């Protein structure tokens, strides 16, 4: 007779399930309690594989990143969604644009809410991307190997500002027209490239219908596409650089001090 303890029905059924072909086709690794299985879980899952196999526990803390990069990404998605809704009602024509925006707030169902969500998300994105940049700078996370991603980040920051700037003209009200007139009038003061840049931006010698179309195309197609592309590179680089940097490892002196404190503590007990 065997001295092995008898398996319960539940254990037998669990084992049969885990060894079945259907289960194995879904879960191609064991329980993630070994380094190998933990790596396989990360690599075999479509969502988890966006992260590196190993990430620093400290760098994952919300108090470390403030989640400002994630919040900026979320706001970009929200802006895209609400922006598509607004595109159904807005025509970039100087005779219609102002009325379209007014109608959005008065006659279109959920128009007022969606327009305000778009406006607020745009303001918040500028705030969150700035805070994200400050956080990265403060942590020295722009240093090698992350210097390339810092450059991508600077481009993302500029693109976010361009998106804000181009969106500001679209309601075609007095504040929009004069704000863009003042804003674009800075360009010609730049040496050499100033005048051509002004002409490309405005499409003439003052803010007109041509400017509205240019800003509209930039706002709804050009800049969102460039931002989406840069974000893809940004996220790919974060993954390749081993996730968020996290604080530097403790120095040798700090490690020695910790050991001394631990030894002194155990000697006292
Ligand atoms: C649309 C704008 C941006 C989005 C959606 C974005 C998103 C993210 C996310 C999700 C992370 C992971 C860690 C975290 O959340 O802090 C990150 C990290 C990083 N970002 Fe951004 N980012 C943007 C703009 C910027 C800007 C403007 C800079 C700097 C000029 C920048 C430089 C970096 C760097 C260097 C890292 C790695 C940080 C580390 O290792 O601790 N990003 N970004």
Ligand 1 nearest atom to the CA of residue 73, by list position = 5
- Give the lowest-confidence range in 1-5, 35-39, 143-147, 183-187: 1-5
Q: What confidence score (pLDDT) does residue 96 get?
A: 97
* pLDDT (0 to 100) of residue 2: 55
Q: CB pairs under 8 A, 24+ apart, for 126-129? A: 126/160, 126/161, 126/164, 128/68, 128/71, 128/72, 128/75, 129/68, 129/72, 129/156, 129/157, 129/160
Residue 3's pLDDT is 64
Q: Could you give the CA distance from residue 198 to residue 196 in angstroms, rounded to a whole number?
A: 5
Query: In this structure, are residues 244 and 56 in contact, taking their beta carbons and an 8 Å threshold?
Result: yes
Q: Is the CB of 157 under 6 A from ligand 1?
A: yes
Quick check: 1 pLDDT over 70?
Answer: no
Q: Give, using CA atoms, the residue closest to atom 39 of ligand 1.
A: 244
User: 119 CB under 6 A from ligand 1?
Assistant: no
Q: Give the tens place of pLDDT for each residue, 10-47.
A: 999 999 999 999 999 988 888 889 989 989 988 888 88
CB of 133 within 6 A of ligand 1: the answer is yes
Query: Among positive and negative, which fits the CA dihedral 170, 175, 181, 184?
Result: negative
67 is in which domain, residue-wise? 62-241
Specify if 263 maps to a domain.
Answer: no
**Residue at 158 is within a domain:** yes
- Quick: pLDDT tens for 186-228: 999 999 999 999 999 999 999 999 999 999 999 999 999 999 9
Q: Mutation test of ligand 1: which of 56, 65, 130, 136 has the most ligand atoms closer than 8 Å to its C-beta?
A: 136
Residue 200 lies in a domain: yes
Q: What mean pLDDT, rounded, does the chain reach?
A: 93
Is 14 a domain residue? no
Please indicate whether residue 149, judged by its CB atom, sits closer than 6 Å to ligand 1: yes
Q: What is the CATH number of the domain that holds 98?
A: 1.20.810.10
Query: How many domains would you assign to the chain?
Result: 1
Token couple for 155: 């481009």
């Amino acid at each position: 007779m065997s001295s092995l303890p008898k398996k319960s029905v539940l254990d037998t059924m669990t084992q049969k399930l885990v060894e079945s072909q259907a289960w194995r086709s879904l879960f191609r690794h064991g329980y993630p309690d070994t380094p190998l299985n933990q790596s396989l879980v990360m690599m075999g899952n479509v969502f988890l594989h966006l992260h590196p196999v190993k990430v620093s526990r400290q760098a994952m803390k919300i108090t470390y990143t403030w989640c400002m990069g994630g919040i900026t990404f979320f706001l970009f998605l929200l802006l895209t969604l609400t922006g598509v809704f607004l595109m159904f009602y807005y025509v970039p024509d100087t005779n219609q644009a102002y009325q379209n925006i007014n109608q959005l707030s008065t006659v279109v169902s959920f128009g007022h809410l969606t327009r305000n969500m778009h406006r607020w998300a745009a303001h918040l994105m500028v705030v969150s991307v700035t805070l994200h940049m400050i956080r990265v700078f403060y942590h020295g996370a722009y240093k090698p190997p992350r210097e390339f991603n810092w450059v991508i980040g600077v481009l993302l920051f500029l693109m976010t500002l361009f998106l804000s700037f181009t969106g500001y003209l679209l309601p075609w009200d007095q504040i929009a027209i004069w704000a863009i007139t003042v804003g674009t009038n800075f360009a010609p003061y730049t040496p050499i490239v100033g005048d051509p840049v002004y002409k490309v931006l405005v499409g003439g010698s003052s803010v007109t219908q041509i400017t509205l179309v240019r800003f509209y195309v930039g706002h709804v197609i050009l800049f969102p596409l460039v931002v989406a592309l840069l974000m893809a590179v940004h996220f790919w680089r974060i993954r390749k650089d081993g996730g968020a940097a996290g604080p530097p490892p403790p120095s040798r002196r700090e490690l020695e001090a910790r050991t001394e404190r631990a030894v002194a503590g155990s000697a006292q007990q």
